[in-house]
Structure 1
């Protein structure tokens, strides 16, 4: 990924230049043949040194091979909030992991944390790429031997999807198609697809089961359902093992404080309510905006099923372990319990110890009144049950990370000058 500048077409004044602590004279100077050789040798040596210092220099070939007893998982969106937590769990379980992320929503700092925790050759590699680029996606699959894909990469804000729907159909639906095509082409056998309860829309009956009719009411949910439909249609003529996990509102962070949620500042307005609560508690924003108080719920605010990210990741790993060739599993991942926004805010105030100012505003387009899951199927078939069901406890853990990471991960998303 080295970037070389375009050669100058106009002459320039001869002046000393410093490279790697070595001074040399412009090689264009007449008669400086020895200088040219020295420069060439210096550049070659510098390139070799740079490559050898890369943590993947000696381990890149391992990612290109299938090894007995080693499961290599591609985690798309692995630099993001949920994807990074999933990657951490996979690495702890001795999986080999490749992260692909364009860093539009993810954090390079999360990748750095993971690399520091698991520096051993052949454990983790990071590829900066956009899944909307068909050539890049095919190249990634052709140069690596994946056994499975956990597909998290997606824009995921309901409000934003109503304002920029085409972005969501491209990023979610089209990109998933490209990933699936490359999986089929390169014989990758297992797909764990990260879906959402937004595909159900606003059912008339609670709780939501996997048989509940999917009638999404916003572009985010519609784009996810389209991606699901593509996967399901393909599965009818394929021996690929497919697991689709429809999960609910994610909160919390790594209990050991290594990872957390750090959205870009410009996305805070569209982000999760937990992030907004923390921003208000830290004084980054003047208060919390609660949108909608006239829903047909007990206190007039939306009711949601809040799932801790640790439990969510556990469901993904269990799905990976239980996936079977030619079979499709579809599961709701939730606690089975709904909490209102007002109840959530009360828990956040207790977790942070801050009396957060709350402004009540009109409804946000695309929202629905009440959504919570029936997790019976995933309990029976995957032996999974949510364990972290206390809102205050999950928020307290996340709050500790927020307080100790006031600037997020503290590393800008810059790779060779690309943001």
Structure 2
């Protein structure tokens, strides 16, 4: 297990100190312009002594380093091992990324998590490290994917076989308020990751995309051939990242899988991981988080935005996918990824549920009578979105198993009650 190191960023170089071996203000080393040019024997002796001292110290340092286990034994993350697949999980401290890392570790993959903790939780990383403490199982690297030098250094020091790229800001409402953050964090950072993959010969990419790239289609359900016409910066930034990946893959031997998620809910059934967004981001977050906050009294009630959509009860309809099913789709995609091939898949249940239906399921799951306030529409939202998961079922043999909305919410609620202050 690699110790967490917050003292120095990965993109920073170590400073070095030079030790003067004489000179400077020593008059022996100054040009003599008058008098005799014969050196003083005492000064010569002093100079030789300094050299001997420096040589002795250097020799001692070399001996100590060679005796050090870290000097003699390279990190297992830096070398390929037969039968072991090393996966870089970007954003692995986040909600979905941490659940994916847990599943990979359970399936005996080697995992490196890279996260800048702007949205993720170091507590989730600690849980994973405690569950899998053996050397060479999981390491955490604190870094920002916007720092190309740091990312390249990470790739140069680790022998990755594949990348699962989750790292992204991911709130539709926030994207309309701060679009530049989304284009930089999603589109530009994906480009940085791709460049490092190409430079270091990492050939497999599983990309975390979204149904928001489809916008508001005329026909339901959504298939992979549905035109991509995103209507908010989040969806647009993700589509741009997809386009970059697809263009690059045309002239490479990469194995690419693009997974377009629908609305993610739930948590680890064994209660080890959950969702813990930062308090200042709650208003932009998932409806499940808002329901739990209302049930716990953190907020006075649940705000449902939009009641005049052309749906059966006026509220938005979404396809809610359990996070356990979602990460299962990622592992199957990794197993089926092939060089020179691109797979694009919707990851959903194939069934739409309205926001009102979701709220009723949340009330049942928590046992709380949640107060609901109805407000105008949120900018960038769309009325109805649900998937046709036929392609992923046929190609990857994947089907959503955790499709009972109330049960998924009950699992997540148990984690919330046990972790009132997050991790």
Shorter-chain TM-score bucket reads 0.7 to 0.9
Query: Are 1:59 and 1:122, in contact at CA under 8 Å, matched by a contact in 2?
Result: no
Q: How does 1:395-410 map to 2 (within 5 A)?
A: 395-409=409-423
**1:342-368 deviation digits (Å, cap 9, x = unpaired):** 000000000000000000000000000
Q: How does 1:177-326 map to 2 (within 5 A)?
A: 177-326=191-340
TM-score using structure 2 length: 0.84
1:175 to 189, 193, 210: 189
Task: Indicate the SS of the match to 1:332.
Answer: strand
Indicate the residue corresponding to 2:45 in structure 1: none
Give the Cα–Cα distance (whole angstroms) in 2 for the partners of residues 67 and 188 of structure 1. Answer: 15
Say if 2:409 is the partner of 1:385. no
1:359 to 340, 357, 373: 373
Indicate the residue corresponding to 1:132 in structure 2: 146
Task: Indicate the SS of the match to 2:75.
Answer: helix
Question: RMSD in angstroms over aligned alpha carbons?
Answer: 1.9
Indicate the residue corresponding to 1:148 in structure 2: 162
1:101 to 115, 120, 130: 115
**1:202-246 deviation digits (Å, cap 9, x = unpaired):** 000000000000000000000000000000000100000000000
**1:244-285 deviation digits (Å, cap 9, x = unpaired):** 000100000000000000000000010000000000000000
Identify unmatched segments of 5+ residues in structure 2. Answer: 9-14, 16-56
1:76 to 86, 90, 94: 90
**1:291-333 deviation digits (Å, cap 9, x = unpaired):** 0000000000000000000000000000000000010000000
Give the Cα–Cα distance (whole angstroms) in 1 for the partners of residues 252 and 389 of structure 2. Answer: 28
Deviation (angstroms), 1:189: 1.0
Deviation (angstroms), 1:191: 0.1
Query: Are 1:202 and 1:217, in contact at CA under 8 Å, matched by a contact in 2?
Result: yes
Query: Are 1:58 and 1:121, in contact at CA under 8 Å, matched by a contact in 2?
Result: no
Deviation (angstroms), 1:59: 7.8
Number of residue pairs aligned between Structure 1 and Structure 2? 365
Task: Indicate the SS of the match to 1:206.
Answer: coil
Q: How does 1:318-357 map to 2 (within 5 A)?
A: 318-357=332-371
Query: Are 1:260 and 1:402, in contact at CA under 8 Å, matched by a contact in 2?
Result: yes
Distance 1:274 1:2, change over 3 A: closer
Give the Cα–Cα distance (whole angstroms) in 2 for the partners of residues 59 and 284 of structure 1. Answer: 50
Task: Indicate the SS of the match to 2:379.
Answer: coil
Say if 2:139 is the partner of 1:111. no
Give the Cα–Cα distance (whole angstroms) in 1 for the partners of residues 243 and 309 of structure 2. Answer: 31
Deviation (angstroms), 1:61: 1.3
TM-score using structure 1 length: 0.85
Distance 1:87 1:363, change over 3 A: same
Task: Indicate the SS of the match to 1:317.
Answer: helix
Indicate the residue corresponding to 2:137 in structure 1: 123
Task: Indicate the SS of the match to 1:325.
Answer: coil
Distance 1:57 1:354, change over 3 A: farther
Query: Are 2:6 and 2:142, in contact at CA under 8 Å, matched by a contact in 1?
Result: no
Name the stretch that deviates more: 172-181 or 60-69. Answer: 60-69
Task: Indicate the SS of the match to 1:286.
Answer: coil
Identify unmatched segments of 5+ residues in structure 1. Answer: 7-39, 410-419
**1:163-183 deviation digits (Å, cap 9, x = unpaired):** 000000000000000000100
